[in-house]
Amino acid sequence: MFDTPTRSSVGWFFLYGLIVRQVSRVSALASRTMSFSFEIEATAGAARAGVFSTPHGDVKTPAFMPVGTLATVKSLDPDDLVQMGASMILGNAYHLHLRPGDEIVREMGGLHQFMRWEGPILTDSGGFQVFSLAQLRTLSEKGVEFQSHLDGSRRFFTPELVMQIERNIGADVIMQFDHVIPGQSDEPTARDASERSIRWLARCLAELKRLELSQPLEEPREEFPGDNPRNHQALFPIVQGGIHAPLRRQAAQAIRAMNDWAGFGIGGLSVGEEKDAMYEMIEVVEEALPPTHPRYLMGVGFPEDLVEAIRRGVDLFDCVAPTRMGRNGTVFTRDGRLNIKRTEYRTDPRPLDPDCDCAACTRFTRAYIRHLFVSDEILGLRLLSLHNVHFLLSLARNARLAIQTGDLDAWARDWLARYRTASPLTV
């Protein structure tokens, strides 16, 4: 007789314990999402000078985020990035899933530990790579089947798998898996992709919640001291809609209704559409998003795009241009771009950009860096990447200052006029 009620009591207590534990986890999660915040210090028209706080530190916005595709910002050392004042960097879920594998990144303590980057990290979901880099893809509502660009192996990305990958990688901000289309796609194509991206967003959110609840908190391992970031992740939705203003507005509205997000991505721009169309879409989305949250314009920028988009209320940027173009010899300067391989720089004693205080410009001449390039020396790649990344970081910092001092319009006008004086080189 005693047995039954006792068992029953044990059962109830066990169930009660489970509930309490889950509730406390949920409230812990809620408090963790509080570890993301955005404070606006000053505005100038649509532009804002803000501070985006993450579990790995603050990002003063507007900010440019250098791209560390494969757990390294190509050719740079983490110390270089610290020295030039980078605060938040990117990783790519697609690339890290293929190499070294997101489970290895997790095993090594997460991406921060793996690449020794103590500041905030954001991971792109692979949406862009699946549609631009992978081969033979087959799209369905469930996800995208594709061949790895490395070895041709078959892969199948779903919103759920991408959340698992991004959770393994452990960035602070993780982007949703989205359906990316060419920049000049027509309305039906753009609508289809945008609506699918929104349905996939809902699945991403559900999967992330499931992962947060089902995966116990991991204690930092002894050999990897420090914070384990995988339990402090903010999922960013991505506003799609191509170059069609109504679609952009509808997407923003649907996304806002779904959840209280920590910030918003603006996707599908700078993918082949006209510049004017891009600027117009930024304006449309700016009006449709809450003014209180950070906005991240994905894959943008070129220096002139940063200036134009900051004026239109964008807070965060990323682009491979500074490192990729740097490796091709293209240098950003206040007076436009130059290509260091040209013969005219053979004995040029000036720095890459006389107005720059980066670790390349304060030490080396154009003549020396040209020599490194012509001789295929690795230091040349590093110095140009370093300069170009510094150029964009510094540009965003200067824009921030102009917002704070109320001079943004004049600053932007002067900056663009000087930058555009020189005819841009084809790169």
| Interaction site with a copy of itself (CB under 8 A) | 70-72, 74-79, 99-100, 104, 107-108, 114-116, 223-224, 346-347, 349, 359, 363-365, 367-368, 370-372, 374-375, 377-379, 381-382
Determine the Cα–Cα distance for residues 198 and 132; give it in Å rounded to an integer: 20
Determine the Cα–Cα distance for residues 374 and 356; give it in Å rounded to an integer: 23
- Which residue, 241, 150, 133, 245, is CA-closest to 197? 241
Determine the Cα–Cα distance for residues 373 and 259; give it in Å rounded to an integer: 50
Q: How far is the CB of 38 from a copy of itself (least distance, A)?
A: 31
Q: How far is the CB of 200 from a copy of itself (least distance, A)?
A: 28
Told to judge if 318 belongs to the known catalytic residues of this protein, a careful annotator would answer yes
CA 349 to each of CA 222, 345, 368: distance values in angstroms, whole numbers, following the listed order:
51, 8, 8
From 80, 124, 178, 315, active-site residue: 124
What tokens appear for 293 in the block? Answer: 């949250």
Determine the Cα–Cα distance for residues 320 and 129; give it in Å rounded to an integer: 13
Q: How far is the CB of 347 from a copy of itself (least distance, A)?
A: 5
Which residue type is seen at 234? A
Q: How far is the CB of 106 from a copy of itself (least distance, A)?
A: 10
- Between 210 and 350, whose beta carbon lies closer to a copy of itself? 350
From 80, 102, 178, 318, active-site residue: 318
Sequence-distant (≥ 6) Cβ neighbours of residue 374 within 8 angstroms: 341
- Between 118 and 409, whose beta carbon lies closer to a copy of itself? 118
Determine the Cα–Cα distance for residues 410 and 392; give it in Å rounded to an integer: 19
Q: How far is the CB of 365 from a copy of itself (least distance, A)?
A: 7
Determine the Cα–Cα distance for residues 311 and 427; give it in Å rounded to an integer: 26
CA 86 to each of CA 121, 154, 378: distance values in angstroms, whole numbers, following the listed order:
11, 36, 22
- Between 57 and 354, whose beta carbon lies closer to a copy of itself? 354
Q: Between 378-405 and 303-311, two packed helices, what is the crossing angle to 10 degrees? A: 20
Q: How far is the CB of 137 from a copy of itself (least distance, A)?
A: 22
- Between 186 and 355, whose beta carbon lies closer to a copy of itself? 355
- Between 55 and 78, whose beta carbon lies closer to a copy of itself? 78
Q: How far is the CB of 151 from a copy of itself (least distance, A)?
A: 12
- Between 254 and 369, whose beta carbon lies closer to a copy of itself? 369
- Between 238 and 361, whose beta carbon lies closer to a copy of itself? 361
Sequence-distant (≥ 6) Cβ neighbours of residue 302 within 8 angstroms: 319, 321
Told to judge if 3 belongs to the known catalytic residues of this protein, a careful annotator would answer no
According to DSSP, the β-strands at 330-333 and 336-339 are antiparallel
Backbone angles phi, psi at 312, to 5 degrees: -100, 15
Residues noted as catalytic: 124, 318
